[in-house]
DNA sequence: CCCAGATAATTTGTCAAACAAATACCGTCG
DNA sequence: CGACGGTATTTGTTTGACAAATTATCTGGG
């Protein structure tokens, strides 16, 4: 029982990366399943023949990918998370936000994809929706109509519910990542009072109409109405977003301009 | 020279995560740009008021996200990578593959999204393509027709070129992640001789026809032909993929069954 | 003067050992 | 029986050191 773990002879790349691949492989092949607990870091290090800091680099990478989660204490440890689209979408949100920030992506491009994604979701939902789905969607519609709460939040809940009703987890993942991105953008740039009551009212009506089209399983109508609704929604974000590359629009530092130490960026060497 | 970096009072969460957020923030706000060199780990640790292993945990996370890259030596160090969709798509590929492996996603779902994504790309490409785009696309078509090379590779190049021609980087990101996933699947499951010559021939014809439709800026025809082509392509993958949840289909360990040490998974504690 | 090879310097990569912090368990005492 | 405090377990974090990789620099020979 050598149990030596990582093949040391085939050292393809950095150690921590091999460990990451190794653990991902264990999950792929279902030798590790969601909920499983990994051995303590010290034991892992010993079995893999590396040091604890190196193991930790790998574990932190997987934790940041929402694949593992750690906690302290006797019942704590490192556990395999549920492997589903939610964790991926969460990660994607951060990446998309970053791309927007550095102008490697525009709201127009994002919206073009949102439209095709969500119109498709509406079509599929109209065809595949269950009673259960309709119940969930209706709840979001009502939340929207009744509550004074944040418009953006209930709006996104509505769209998320439809994506779920499409019964396509890939579509739901992509749509979800866009929804999370929009929520982040809204939190950053949209004050609740910025959204005109008029817009809210129309949006709510559109939600109701989309709901009915899906309920009637009229996929063509659902698609048309969704498309129309998204055009209205676009205006809300487009108006609020900082303009092009004119002003500096970074994530504003939250009170306490933390910055890297002096000489944060070395000048090119020559 | 306080330059103390991370606000120690607001210790929201683990240290390495705050550092990750901090550096991502510097990139978002463009205080750090692609190509910039970060201070040596030792200096970073000092300016941030933490230890080097902790800094490294953060750096490794960002490296795994294709945001940073490190190398050794006097001209080495840690550098900011180009922030674009490629790195994100690369990461997404791994996540999607994992979801497929653990049956949290089916090829059908993936294909449904591929279809809507690529049909849209074809439509947009037909409208927005430049002469330059057509040149690139044509090269992939020719590579397909002339070369005896791997069918899958040239096929994916073709689709990738069209996604690029759509002039939508978000769409290109999503499509690219799917393409990379398919390439991985093909490497794992599809032997070159598994693809019937008949299928290859028809596929090449379809590529040519799609090319012409895009060249003619006939977006409706491009969409129709792309849809048709994708149906053929689906068969190639569907036939090769391991069936449902019957057989174990993990990433087969490449000669040298590395596994975690004995007792890799602790039994639940109660 | 120029070139080649040895040498030094710089930076990440890795390891070792220890302590701090969080948390659950368990035994004891009121 | 319940509250309390100690103890064990595990991750979180620090310190210090050395190894490995890679480039700059120096030195000697042609």
Per-residue pLDDT tens over the stretch A17-66: 999 999 999 999 999 999 999 999 999 999 999 999 999 999 999 999 99
Q: Evaluate if residue B14 carries a pLDDT over 80.
A: yes
Q: Evaluate if residue B186 carries a pLDDT over 60.
A: yes
B124 within 8 A of B145, measured Cβ to Cβ: no
Tell me which residue in B43, B57, B75 faces A60 most closely, judged by beta carbons: B57
What per-residue confidence (pLDDT) applies to A244? 58
Nearest of B210, B79, B256 to residue A265 by alpha carbon: B79
What per-residue confidence (pLDDT) applies to A213? 98
Q: Evaluate if residue A257 carries a pLDDT over 60.
A: no
What per-residue confidence (pLDDT) applies to A193? 83
What per-residue confidence (pLDDT) applies to B151? 84
Q: Evaluate if residue B262 carries a pLDDT over 70.
A: no
Interatomic separation, CA of residue B13 and C1' of nucleotide D4, rounded (Å): 30
B99 within 8 A of A84, measured Cβ to Cβ: yes
Range of weakest confidence among A3-7, A123-127, B76-80, B88-92: A3-7
More confident residue, A224 or B148: A224
**Residues touching nucleic chain D (CB < 7 Å):** A 38, 40-42, 52-53, 56, 59, 70-74, 76-78, 269; B 14-16, 49-54, 71-76
How many Cα atoms within 13 Å fall on the side-chain side of residue A149? 14
In tens, the pLDDT along A124-147 reads 999 999 999 999 999 999 987 776
Q: Evaluate if residue B71 carries a pLDDT over 80.
A: yes
How many Cα atoms within 13 Å fall on the side-chain side of residue B3? 11
What per-residue confidence (pLDDT) applies to B173? 98
Residue A174 pLDDT class (50, 70, 90 cuts): very high
More confident residue, A252 or B168: B168
In chain B, % of residues over pLDDT 90: 76
Q: How far apart are CA B227 and CA B223, in angstroms?
A: 6
How much is the average pLDDT of A70-79? 96
Interatomic separation, CA of residue A77 and C1' of nucleotide C28, rounded (Å): 29
Which tokens go with A96? 């998309």
**C-alpha to C-alpha distances, A160 to A31, B88, B205, nearest whole angstrom:** 32, 22, 40
Interatomic separation, CA of residue B52 and C1' of nucleotide D15, rounded (Å): 10
Tell me which residue in B24, B26, B101 faces A260 most closely, judged by beta carbons: B26
Q: Give the minimum alpha-carbon distance from A198 to chain B in angstroms, rounded to a whole number.
A: 31
In tens, the pLDDT along A85-134 reads 999 999 999 999 999 999 999 999 999 999 999 999 999 999 999 999 99
Averaging pLDDT over each range in A152-166, B188-202, B234-248, which range is the top one? A152-166
How much is the average pLDDT of B171-197? 94
More confident residue, A2 or B221: B221
Q: Do B88 and A99 touch (CB under 8 A)?
A: yes
| Residue B209, Cβ density class (10 Å: 0-12 exposed, 13-18 middle, ≥19 buried) | middle
Q: How far apart are CA B59 and CA B42, in angstroms?
A: 12
Which tokens go with A95? 């990446």
Q: Do B251 and A46 touch (CB under 8 A)?
A: no
Element (H, E) at B124: helix B107-128
CA A79 to chain centre: 21
Is the pTM higher than 0.75? The answer reads: yes
| Residue B85, Cβ density class (10 Å: 0-12 exposed, 13-18 middle, ≥19 buried) | buried
Q: Evaluate if residue B270 carries a pLDDT over 50.
A: no
Tell me which residue in B20, B60, B261 faces A57 most closely, judged by beta carbons: B60
- Strand C atom within 7 Å of B232 CB: no
A166 within 8 A of A124, measured Cβ to Cβ: yes
More confident residue, B141 or A144: B141
Residue B145 pLDDT class (50, 70, 90 cuts): confident
């Amino acid at each position: 029982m050598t149990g030596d773990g990582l093949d040391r002879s085939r050292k393809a790349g950095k150690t921590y990366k091999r460990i990451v691949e190794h653990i991902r492989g264990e999950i792929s092949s279902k030798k590790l399943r969601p909920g499983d607990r990994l051995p303590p870091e010290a034991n892992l290090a010993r079995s893999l023949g590396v040091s604890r800091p190196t193991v930790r680099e790998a574990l932190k990478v997987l934790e940041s990918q929402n694949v593992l989660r750690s906690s302290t204490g006797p019942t704590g440890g490192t556990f395999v998370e549920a492997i589903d689209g939610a964790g991926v979408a969460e990660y994607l949100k951060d990446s998309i936000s970053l791309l927007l920030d550095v102008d490697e992506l525009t709201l127009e491009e994002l919206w073009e994809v949102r439209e095709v994604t969500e119109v498709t979701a509406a079509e599929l939902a109209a065809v595949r929706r269950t009673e259960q789905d309709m119940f969930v969607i209706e709840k979001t519609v009502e939340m929207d109509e009744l509550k004074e709460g944040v418009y953006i939040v209930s709006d996104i809940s509505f769209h998320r519910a439809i994506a779920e009703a499409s019964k396509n987890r890939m579509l739901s993942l992509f749509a979800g990542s866009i929804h999370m991105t929009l929520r982040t953008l809204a939190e950053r740039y949209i004050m609740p009072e910025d959204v005109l009551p008029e817009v809210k009212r129309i949006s709510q009506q559109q939600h109701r109409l989309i709901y009915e089209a899906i309920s009637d399983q009229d996929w063509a109508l659902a698609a048309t109405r969704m498309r129309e609704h998204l055009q209205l929604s676009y205006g809300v974000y487009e108006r609020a977003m900082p303009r092009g590359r004119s002003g500096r629009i970074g994530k504003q530092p939250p009170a306490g301009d933390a910055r890297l130490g002096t000489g944060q960026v070395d000048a090119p060497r020559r």
